């Protein structure tokens, strides 16, 4: 017979099991991205958020009190929150733990109350809650928990099972609530992540054998990017292995599933995409030879590439350390001695940026601290708080420069007690550049905040990247490998010529009032091609001034702005 209450020891085990299940599914969740761009990071953000809490839960030992457990879950997830999905997950935990911390054992009544409190807390944290997301799945689970409680549910196992099944049902309905999900053929990735947490927790309650031997990552540090911190903590498999199989035998759905299952047995971060007579393979493993031997059973191999990630990671850290040593004190590294000896200035700036060119632009405009981050590597609330601590100013403006970082920045602002932290809701790097340019030292903090928010509303941003899968979005048919021009509200152009896509994207953004077009080329674009694009834009759009600058950003070949 199942237990009808849950003590702190069992809740701790359930929480860790939920985290482990989420970690196991993170790459799959990353792939549930509406836009077929190579920066899906929901699974990574949610995993790193919950792992921050796991670190504190594990430190409590095997017999925690309910109060200590609640503090560990709430504090750890709040500080470790990354991305919108991670922040919302942390707020769900915050509300849940506020409700249960007074109990020694959780009854069905207590769980119904705590689910309700969790949803209320999460919805309040989001300025404009959108249905069809993780919030909807959480609300559905809470409503089912209350409905069952009111109907007299008495068996905990049946109670938790029905809640999970209803959460899965609500998740399956998210494409009906958000047309963009339906068109892309996916469910909401954040909602899927929440379901995986609940599923893992239920498995632990049911006594299923679960491997909880994960290494919880240390809290991030702003001296490294979020992706680098993660890599340092969990490079479990050292060789990034990529190749293409030129098929000489039938490779049906069963073959694909069997091959994927084999790859999962020897590594992680698996991508296996079959397309007619070829199969593209990517796997992180400690023995690339095993993957290669298995693949040879299906055909010849080409485009083989094997990278030692541990070695590359150490080299990258060494280069970063050398760069920090040679950089100006106010551009990146601020020592404790400098902080204590210098008088506190009135204003300071923190900018989230990716790419050495972009970083240098922000430094030249007066940014005191650069947090390396952006797409695929969203900094955590703790990263932003650490940056705030290092900037010696009374009022600090934070430029998130990414819509998926704004919630974490707001959370850091709320948690900061010694300094006035104002978050300017910049969704793109061009908006961040415009914001800092329009700062006026003679204005009050509130006046500057109002002025910068007003000015960033005049900036339109476009970005060019490539598609990682076939799909249909905004009535545009997209094939894997196509170049896409993505604007503030959707995909503006798709094609096979990167310069033409960039030009068409800019043309879609320009209006009669436009005066300035800025083009920032990324790390995968050479200057000659960028100059060629600039000439094309000047020829087509003579009414605007054109600026071309090196951004060095990853993933996006071009970032363009129109003002």
Give domain limits for the chain: 6-205, 226-312, 332-456, 460-562
Q: What share of the chain is helix, strand, coil (3-state, %, to 5)?
A: 50, 20, 30
3-state secondary structure of 304: strand
Q: Is 425's pLDDT higher than 90?
A: yes
| Under 8 Å between Cβ of 100 and 6 | no
Helices (H), 327-474: 336-341, 356-364, 381-390, 406-415, 429-437, 445-456
Q: Is 183's pLDDT higher than 90?
A: no
Q: Is 3's pLDDT higher than 70?
A: no
Q: Which two tokens stand for residue 396?
A: 């600090």
Highest mean pLDDT among 77-91, 160-174, 374-388: 160-174
| Under 8 Å between Cβ of 155 and 173 | no
Q: In angstroms, what CA-CA distances link 325 with 275, 328, 332, 378, 388?
A: 48, 8, 10, 25, 21
**CA angle, residues 146, 150, 151, in degrees to nearest 5:** 120
Min mean pLDDT across 138-147, 207-216, 542-551 is at 207-216
Q: Please write the tens of the pLDDT for every residue from 44-79.
A: 889 999 999 999 999 998 889 999 999 999 999 998
Q: Is 273's pLDDT higher than 80?
A: no
What is residue 316's predicted lDDT score, i.e. its pLDDT? 55
pTM, full prediction:
0.71
How much is the average pLDDT of 166-176? Answer: 94
Return the CATH class of domain 6-205.
Answer: mainly alpha
Average pLDDT of the chain is 85
What is residue 332's predicted lDDT score, i.e. its pLDDT? 44
What is residue 473's predicted lDDT score, i.e. its pLDDT? 79
What is residue 101's predicted lDDT score, i.e. its pLDDT? 85
How much is the average pLDDT of 75-98? Answer: 92
Q: Is 148's pLDDT higher than 50?
A: yes
How much is the average pLDDT of 543-555? Answer: 91
| Under 8 Å between Cβ of 74 and 66 | no
411 or 332, which is more confident: 411
How much is the average pLDDT of 10-38? Answer: 87
pLDDT band for position 484 (cuts 50, 70, 90): very high
How much is the average pLDDT of 415-430? Answer: 92
pLDDT band for position 231 (cuts 50, 70, 90): very low
How much is the average pLDDT of 558-563? Answer: 94
Cα 148 from Cα 412, distance rounded (Å): 37
What is residue 480's predicted lDDT score, i.e. its pLDDT? 86
| Under 8 Å between Cβ of 502 and 463 | no
Q: Please write the tens of the pLDDT for every residue from 304-331.
A: 888 777 666 566 555 555 555 444 444 4
What is residue 286's predicted lDDT score, i.e. its pLDDT? 86
How much is the average pLDDT of 356-382? Answer: 87
Q: Is 284's pLDDT higher than 50?
A: yes
Return the CATH class of domain 226-312.
Answer: alpha beta
For 131-194, strand residue ranges (E) read: none
Q: Is 253's pLDDT higher than 60?
A: yes
Using CA of residue 388, residue 390, residue 393, residue 398, what is the dihedral sign?
A: negative
Q: Is 416's pLDDT higher than 90?
A: no
Cα 234 from Cα 34, distance rounded (Å): 27
Q: Is 270's pLDDT higher than 90?
A: no
Of 347, 322, 317, nearest in space to 333 by CA: 322
CATH of 332-456, one of 3.90.75.20, 3.40.50.510, 2.40.160.40, 3.20.20.10: 3.40.50.510
Q: Please write the tens of the pLDDT for every residue from 501-517.
A: 999 999 999 999 999 99
Q: Is 488's pLDDT higher than 80?
A: yes
What is residue 275's predicted lDDT score, i.e. its pLDDT? 59
Give 84-141 as a DSSP string.
HHHHHHHHHHHHHHHHHTT-SEE-HHHHHHHHHHHHHHHHHH-SS--SSSHHHHHHHH
The CATH number that domain 460-562 falls under is 3.30.1180.10
DSSP class of residue 380?
B
pLDDT band for position 40 (cuts 50, 70, 90): low
- How far from the centroid of its chain's Cα atoms is residue 467's Cα? 18
């Amino acid at each position: 017979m199942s237990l009808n209450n849950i003590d702190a020891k069992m809740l701790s085990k359930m929480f860790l099991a939920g985290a482990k299940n989420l970690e196991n599914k993170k790459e799959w969740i990353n792939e549930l991205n509406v836009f077929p761009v190579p920066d899906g990071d929901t699974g990574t953000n949610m995993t790193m958020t919950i792992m921050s809490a796991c670190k504190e839960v594990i430190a409590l030992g095997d017999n925690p009190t309910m109060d200590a457990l609640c503090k560990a879950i709430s504090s750890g997830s709040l500080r470790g929150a990354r991305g919108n999905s991670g922040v919302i997950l942390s707020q769900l935990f915050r509300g849940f733990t506020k409700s249960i911390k007074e109990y020694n054992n959780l009854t069905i009544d207590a769980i119904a109350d705590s689910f309700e409190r969790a949803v209320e807390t999460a919805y309040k944290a989001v300025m404009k809650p959108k249905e069809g997301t993780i919030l909807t799945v959480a609300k559905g689970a809470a409503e089912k928990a209350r409905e069952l409680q009111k109907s007299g549910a008495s068996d905990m196992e049946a109670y938790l099972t029905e809640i999970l099944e209803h959460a899965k049902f609500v998740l399956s309905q998210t494409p009906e609530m958000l047309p963009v999900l339906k068109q892309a053929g996916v469910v909401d990735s954040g909602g899927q992540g929440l379901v995986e947490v609940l599923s893992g927790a239920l498995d632990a309650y049911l006594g299923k054998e679960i491997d909880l031997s994960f290494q919880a990552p240390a809290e991030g540090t702003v001296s490294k990017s979020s992706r680098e911190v993660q890599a340092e903590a969990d490079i479990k498999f050292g060789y990034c292995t990529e190749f293409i199989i030129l098929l000489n035998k039938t490779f049906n759905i069963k073959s694909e599933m069997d091959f994927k299952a084999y790859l999962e047995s020897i590594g992680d971060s698996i991508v296996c995409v079959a397309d007619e007579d070829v199969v593209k393979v990517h796997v992180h493993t400690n023995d690339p030879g095993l993957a290669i031997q298995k693949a040879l059973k299906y055909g010849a191999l080409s485009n083989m590439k094997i990278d030692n990630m541990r070695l590359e990671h150490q080299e990258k850290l060494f280069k970063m350390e050398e760069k920090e040593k040679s950089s100006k004190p106010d551009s990146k590294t601020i020592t404790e001695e400098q902080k204590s000896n210098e008088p506190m200035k009135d204003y300071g700036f923190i900018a989230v940026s990716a790419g050495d060119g972009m970083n240098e632009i922000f430094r030249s405009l007066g940014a005191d601290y650069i947090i390396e981050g952006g797409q695929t590597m969203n900094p955590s609330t703790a990263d932003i708080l650490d940056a705030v601590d290092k900037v010696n100013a009374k009022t600090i403006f934070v430029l998130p420069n990414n819509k998926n970082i704004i919630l974490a920045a707001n959370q850091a602002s709320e948690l900061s007690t010694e300094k006035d932290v104002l978050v300017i809701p910049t969704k793109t790097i061009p908006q961040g550049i415009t914001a800092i340019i329009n700062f006026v030292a003679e204005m009050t903090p509130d006046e500057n905040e109002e002025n910068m928010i007003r000015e960033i509303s005049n900036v339109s941003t476009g970005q060019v990247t490539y598609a990682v899968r076939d799909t249909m979005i905004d009535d545009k048919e997209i094939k894997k490998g196509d170049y896409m021009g993505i604007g503030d509200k959707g995909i503006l152009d798709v094609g096979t010529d990167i310069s033409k896509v960039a030009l068409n994207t800019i043309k879609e953004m320009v209006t009669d009032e436009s005066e300035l077009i800025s083009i920032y080329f990324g790390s995968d674009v050479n200057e000659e091609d960028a100059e060629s694009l600039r000439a094309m834009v000047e020829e087509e759009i003579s009414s605007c001034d054109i600026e071309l600058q090196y951004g060095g950003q990853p993933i996006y070949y071009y970032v363009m702005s129109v003002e």
